[in-house]
Amino acid sequence: MNKKDVLNALEQIAVYLEIKGENAFRVSAYRKAAQALERDERTLDEIEDPSTLSGIGKGTAAIIKDLKETGETALLTELAEELPDGLLPLLKLQGLGGKKIGKLYQQLGVIDAESLKKVCEEKQVRDLAGFGAKSEEKILVALADLGKRPERLTIAQVLPAAEDLKKRLASIEAVERFELAGSFRRGRETVKDLDFIISTDDPLNVGEELVAMPHVTEIIGHGETKVSLELTYGEIIVPVDFRMVKDESFATTLHHFTGSKDHNVLMRQRAKERGEKISEYGVEEEGTDKVHHFTTETAFFNHFDLPFIPPEIREGMGELEKVIQADKLINEDTIKGDLHMHTTWSDGAQSIEDMVAACQKKGYEYMAITDHSQYLKVANGLTVERLKRQHAEIHAINDKQDSFTVFTGIEMDILPDGTLDYRDDVLKEIDFVIASIHSGFSQDEETIMKRLEAACRNPYVSMIAHPTGRLIGRRDGYPVNMNRLFELAAETQTILELNANPNRLDLSADMLKKAQECGVKICINTDAHRFDMLDHMPIGVKTARRGWLTEETVVNTWSVEAFSNFIKEKRQG
């Protein structure tokens, strides 16, 4: 287990003990231990004996050691076995923490969502200390939402299914080739389902293998050439369509089911003008029996005197006319660095060295370490003194590298009153200063814009991170006047971030398009808090392509010199 996992496990122990009704002192011991670990900037491996930290006793230290080395600990296993499985999901209901769930469990015998609903309907909950008629109603509303399936899933939610299914299909012998089509291939922020196109001579056999796969929890349809399933990964149910075709039709079918519908309409019009008709299986010459088949999508497009049109821009937004520009869209290979990430110095799981090694392995030429600033106490933000120590460490690492640059950095909070978290004399020593909003989301647009303007107008602030603060499907973020922000960013040479985290992806594709038209520079970053989050870069790149971004706009496709010069220019005014 890494540090983050251990912190989560300690919190889970605390919650279980609360549910059991253990005394508050024992519960808080685990939370205090987690805080002490988090405050320490070292990784778990570097902390030899956790009991040397103030706030961690011998017993807790042993538990931390177990978790780190084996990924489990007897106490947590016992608690998990002792308490009903249905209780933990109730923590997701707004207003219910360990303590309240404990009362419901001990005094009313609640063990899951169903029994909770029953005692609420029987009006038993209002009589418990700390609850009332209002909270009873709220719980019922929250329970109704809990059971509802979201209409669309985020990329983060379908990614495990997509990866698993690619491996499964690759291992089925009768599958010649396959591709993931639909809105996922086009890089939309959310998808209704996954669409796989499979070429095979033996669709019946492939169909049998598909319905027998692990994770399949529902067979929606099982026809000769189409199989529709629901697969369950953890708590997420993912609907998936599989379409089987002969290899000669593969490219045309792939194009058809990649969509979008609007793009397909444009293509069919173009075909009609030439006396042809596009079907799922090929292109027919009207009035004859002749059907054209294509080995690749490129050949399909070429047939209509078009170059390959990237799936990300197949949205019926003029892509057939503007296709020359499509050639210049950025792609994964052009990314030279990741400029927003966290380490154990604030709320990340890995050390600086570990993150540097991981970025080098990705083939990048540069990167920045950008932990949180002092205002963000919950994330163990850096005081000026700790910032200086961290940056000395980064300088030492950087000096050992020849052809790789590690920039010092910070993700600095823009405070609710519009002031910045460090003074200019601190900022001017930092290579890459990111400013972001993590508080006061309910402020009005004018107040938010004043905060963003203060950051843009500071010569040392090079970038605004996740400019809207949204979490896809969960919260809208704070109110931003986007046109005004683009004007400000362009005027002050402040970069705006495209956050590659699949839960964030702000700026969105539509906004990116406008930003580029305004001359705003964009940086695509992962904001990684763990190793594996560095892998989100391609998701950010897909969104950038949906926004038609070119290398000229995206600063982390530039050489390290060009990037550094851009930062310097703003500082020199």
Residue 241 engages Ca ion in binding (rule: CB under 5 A)? yes
Tokens 């996922």 correspond to what residue?
184
Work out how close the CB of 472 gets to ligand DGT at its nearest, in angstroms, rounded to a whole number.
Answer: 13
Work out how close the CB of 311 gets to Ca ion at its nearest, in angstroms, rounded to a whole number.
Answer: 12
State the Cα–Cα distance between residues 358 and 352, nearest whole angstrom. Answer: 10
Work out how close the CB of 6 gets to ligand DGT at its nearest, in angstroms, rounded to a whole number.
Answer: 37
- In 279-431 the beta strands, taken as DSSP E runs, fall at 283-285, 291-292, 337-338, 366-369, 405-413
Work out how close the CB of 143 gets to Ca ion at its nearest, in angstroms, rounded to a whole number.
Answer: 30
State the Cα–Cα distance between residues 110 and 139, nearest whole angstrom. Answer: 13
Work out how close the CB of 159 gets to Ca ion at its nearest, in angstroms, rounded to a whole number.
Answer: 15
Residues near 468 by Cβ (< 8 Å), separated by ≥ 6?
A: 476, 477, 478, 480, 506, 507
Count residues near Ca ion (CB under 5 A). Answer: 5
Pick what 257 binds: Ca ion, ligand DGT, Zn ion, none; C-beta below 5 to 8 Å, kind-dependent. Answer: ligand DGT
Q: CA 548, 551, 553, 554 torsion: positive or negative?
A: positive
Tell me the residue number closest to Ca ion, measured at CB: 182
Residue 193 engages Ca ion in binding (rule: CB under 5 A)? yes
Residue ranges of alpha helices (H) inside 110-220 are 113-121, 133-147, 155-171, 182-186, 203-211
Which CB sits closer to Ca ion, 191 or 206? 191
Which CB sits closer to Ca ion, 192 or 274? 192
Which CB sits closer to ligand DGT, 278 or 437? 278
Residue 371 engages Zn ion in binding (rule: CB under 5 A)? no
Work out how close the CB of 482 gets to Zn ion at its nearest, in angstroms, rounded to a whole number.
Answer: 21
Alpha carbon distances (Å) from 550 to 143, 395, 555: 46, 32, 10
Which CB sits closer to ligand DGT, 294 or 345? 294
> Are 240 and 210 contacting, i.e. CB atoms less than 8 angstroms apart?
no
User: With CB under 5 A as the contact rule, which of the stretches 20-28, 194-202, 390-398, 409-417 interacts with Zn ion?
Assistant: 409-417
Binding positions for ligand DGT, rule: CB under 6 A: 182-183, 188, 191-193, 195, 256-257, 259-261, 264
Rounded (10°) CA dihedral 480, 486, 490, 493? 30
Work out how close the CB of 475 gets to ligand DGT at its nearest, in angstroms, rounded to a whole number.
Answer: 21
Residue 195 engages Ca ion in binding (rule: CB under 5 A)? yes
User: With CB under 5 A as the contact rule, which of the stretches 111-119, 408-416, 503-511, 554-562 interacts with Zn ion?
Assistant: 408-416
Pick what 264 binds: Ca ion, ligand DGT, Zn ion, none; C-beta below 5 to 8 Å, kind-dependent. Answer: ligand DGT
Exposure string of 423-458, with b = 16+ CB inside 10 Å and e = fewer, is eeebbeebbbbbbbbbeeeebeeeebbebbbbbbeb
- Which tokens sit at 196? 């796989």
Residue 411 engages Zn ion in binding (rule: CB under 5 A)? yes
Work out how close the CB of 264 gets to ligand DGT at its nearest, in angstroms, rounded to a whole number.
Answer: 5
State the Cα–Cα distance between residues 176 and 185, nearest whole angstrom. Answer: 20
Binding letters toward Zn ion, positions 84-123, x by CB under 5 A: ----------------------------------------
Which CB sits closer to Ca ion, 183 or 199? 183
Which CB sits closer to ligand DGT, 193 or 371? 193
Pick what 260 binds: Ca ion, Zn ion, ligand DGT, none; C-beta below 5 to 8 Å, kind-dependent. Answer: ligand DGT
Pick what 411 binds: Zn ion, Ca ion, ligand DGT, none; C-beta below 5 to 8 Å, kind-dependent. Answer: Zn ion
DSSP 3-state assignment of 31? Answer: helix
Which CB sits closer to Ca ion, 241 or 506? 241
CA atoms within 13 A on the CB side of 312: 22
- Classify residue 95 by its DSSP letter: T
Count residues near Zn ion (CB under 5 A). Answer: 2
Residue 413 engages Zn ion in binding (rule: CB under 5 A)? no
State the Cα–Cα distance between residues 238 and 182, nearest whole angstrom. Answer: 14
Amino acid found at 410: I
Tokens 């002050």 correspond to what residue?
492
Work out how close the CB of 220 gets to Ca ion at its nearest, in angstroms, rounded to a whole number.
Answer: 11
Which CB sits closer to ligand DGT, 228 or 232? 228
Work out how close the CB of 195 gets to ligand DGT at its nearest, in angstroms, rounded to a whole number.
Answer: 5
Which CB sits closer to Ca ion, 193 or 371? 193
Binding residue for Zn ion (CB under 5 A) from 189, 319, 347, 527?
Answer: 527
State the Cα–Cα distance between residues 159 and 374, nearest whole angstrom. Answer: 34
Calculate helix-pair angle for 3-20, 98-108, nearest 10 degrees: 30
Nearest to 39 by CA among 324, 347, 485: 347
- Which tokens sit at 270? 């173009």
DSSP 3-state assignment of 283? Answer: strand
User: With CB under 5 A as the contact rule, which of the stretches 162-170, 226-234, 267-275, 405-413 interacts with Zn ion?
Assistant: 405-413
Binding residue for Ca ion (CB under 5 A) from 50, 98, 102, 182?
Answer: 182
Binding site for Ca ion (CB under 5 A): 182-183, 193, 195, 241
Binding site for Zn ion (CB under 5 A): 411, 527
